[in-house]
Structure 1
Amino acid sequence: MSSHFQKYTDSTLSSHDQVARALGTDIIAGIYPPGSKIPAEAEILERFGISRTVLREVLKTLTAKGLIVSKTRVGTKVLDQSNWNMFDSDVLSWKVAHGFDAEFRRELAEIRLAIEPEAAALCADRATPEQIAALRESIEEMGESSLSRIAFAEADLRFHQRIGDASGNMMMRAISAIIETALVASFTMSSPVDEKAEHKKSVRLHRAIVDAIEAGDAAAAREAMRKTIGHGKQRISRAEKRKET
């Protein structure tokens, strides 16, 4: 498993990371709802067997991510989710650990549709021959018939990260945590490699993005990216319907 997806399942974390993840996941899961206080220092120290120094660093981390706020004579309270930094890779991974709901998957798709088509359009104007070759390399990886779900997802992630790179916009590249989370959500429900026809269609749609970029056609690149993201949404919708029946 590559490092990109490892953070969602990794058990080899430091004490700081383990405690931050445990408390962060509890907050996101609603075990400590907005406005409530997290457990007292003594309780946390006993639960995790950590030092006060580690706990202080954990609380600083959770504060920086917008999950909690500490006030003198009040204690440490959980903030409303409107304060949470949902662009933070840790917060997203803790959300993944808690599980996906339909609303969260919808929000992920909406932010991708708002940003990635424009990134693809920028690529049509800015991508170098070397970057286009790298995109085609990702397409070849995705097209291998023997790929597992994880291997396909990793190749898919590399493709979209390379789109961000080739856009020439650092902020486009910075949303890779959002894309990664969306792909994890998607492949948890359904993967193109589960069905031969879906696999071929997914590869074809991604190839169309690169073809448009190489042709310097920004409008076509934008539309091809929309279709690719839309294909993923349709696949998830079908998976949800099968689950309901």
Structure 2
Amino acid sequence: MILKSAISGSITRNSHARVVDELGKAIVGGIYSPGAVLPGDAELAERFDVSRTVLREAMKTLTAKGLVVPKARIGTRVTERSTWNLFDGDVLIWHLESGNDPEFISNLAEMRLSFEPFAANLAAKRANGAEIARLFACVEAMEKADAMDSFAVADLEFHLTLLEISKNPFMFSVGSLIEAALVTSFRLSSPNGEPRRQKATSDAHRTIVKAIAAGNGNEAATAMQAVIIDGRDRIAGQITRS
């Protein structure tokens, strides 16, 4: 969902989702800072041209994401960032849309480094031949991609497939973090259109698969770590130059 939204540049939203999206972006983007009280129901209902029922449901959604908390006789207050659910796809999108924050991107890379290399290690121990073939197919799709969006989709498919074949369900549940990181890469530094770099990136992913196929977990983990660090540094370089 995150990547598809970034590729298309838009997403169809009903009234409830539109209110959630606009208020969520305003909160994450700092228009409403932690501790601030949101405008009252009447004002927001008029602003978004929605019923009080739709507005209440939107507030429940934002509350579930950890962004706001209702306070009796006070109103709906924005919570501290430490309570926000950063594993939530919408919250990640709002972070990405609020600008290229080097600290956020660095934190995202640190999280990936904490679990993806280990997932690669597990895959080397648990993957069967058909699953390894799926990974090789993803690499081939990356190498042959003739557009940025097709490269990004193949890249995402590679990493989500690897989490899946680690056969640890908790691994797959954090796939949204990878998707957010690849959206940033898609927007700032996709190698598509640069044949040499596209091949180098594809080869780096192929190195991971070869290590998994050989049953060498340590090599697979090291190769995955190198891929994540390379992507992180490339994005940081683009932000510095922009």
Match of 2:218 in 1: 219
Instruction: Output the CA distance in 1 between the equivalents of 2:103 and 2:2.
Output: 24
After superposition, the Cα gap between the structure-2 partners of 1:33 and 1:238, relative to the gap in structure 1 and judged at 3 Å, is: closer
Match of 2:180 in 1: 181
The Cα of 1:10 is off from its aligned counterpart by: 2.6
Two-structure CA RMSD over aligned residues (Å):
1.3
Instruction: Output the CA distance in 1 between the equivalents of 2:130 and 2:39.
Output: 53
Match of 1:135 in 2: 135
Match of 2:19 in 1: 19
Contact 2:2 2:93 in 1 (8 A): no
Alignment coverage as a number of residue pairs: 240
Q: Where does structure 2 lack aligned partners over 5 or more consecutive residues? A: none
| Residues 42-80 of structure 1 deviation map (CA, whole Å, 9 limit, x = unaligned) | 111111111111111100000010000002112110001
Q: Tell me, what secondary structure is at the counterpart of 1:10?
A: coil
| Runs of 4+ in structure 1 over 4 Å off | none
Match of 2:71 in 1: 71
Give the alignment's TM-score, normalised by structure 2: 0.95
Q: Tell me, what secondary structure is at the counterpart of 2:70?
A: strand
Match of 1:168 in 2: 167
The AA in structure 1 aligned to 2:34 is P
Q: Tell me, what secondary structure is at the counterpart of 2:158?
A: helix
The AA in structure 1 aligned to 2:150 is A
1:134-153 pair list within 5 angstroms: 134-144=134-144, 146-153=145-152
The Cα of 1:239 is off from its aligned counterpart by: 2.2
The AA in structure 2 aligned to 1:42 is A
Match of 1:122 in 2: 122
Instruction: Output the CA distance in 2 between the equivalents of 1:185 and 1:132.
Output: 27
Contact 1:4 1:154 in 2 (8 A): no
Match of 2:201 in 1: 202
Match of 1:240 in 2: 239
Contact 1:135 1:210 in 2 (8 A): yes
The AA in structure 1 aligned to 2:40 is A
Instruction: Output the CA distance in 1 between the equivalents of 2:176 and 2:101.
Output: 18
1:105 partnered with 2:94 = no
Instruction: Output the CA distance in 2 between the equivalents of 1:150 and 1:48.
Output: 33
The Cα of 1:4 is off from its aligned counterpart by: 5.1
1:91 partnered with 2:79 = no
Match of 1:6 in 2: 4
After superposition, the Cα gap between the structure-2 partners of 1:73 and 1:238, relative to the gap in structure 1 and judged at 3 Å, is: closer
Instruction: Output the CA distance in 2 between the equivalents of 1:238 and 1:53.
Output: 46
* Percent identity of paired positions between Structure 1 and Structure 2: 45
Contact 2:34 2:81 in 1 (8 A): yes
The Cα of 1:150 is off from its aligned counterpart by: 1.4
The AA in structure 2 aligned to 1:89 is G
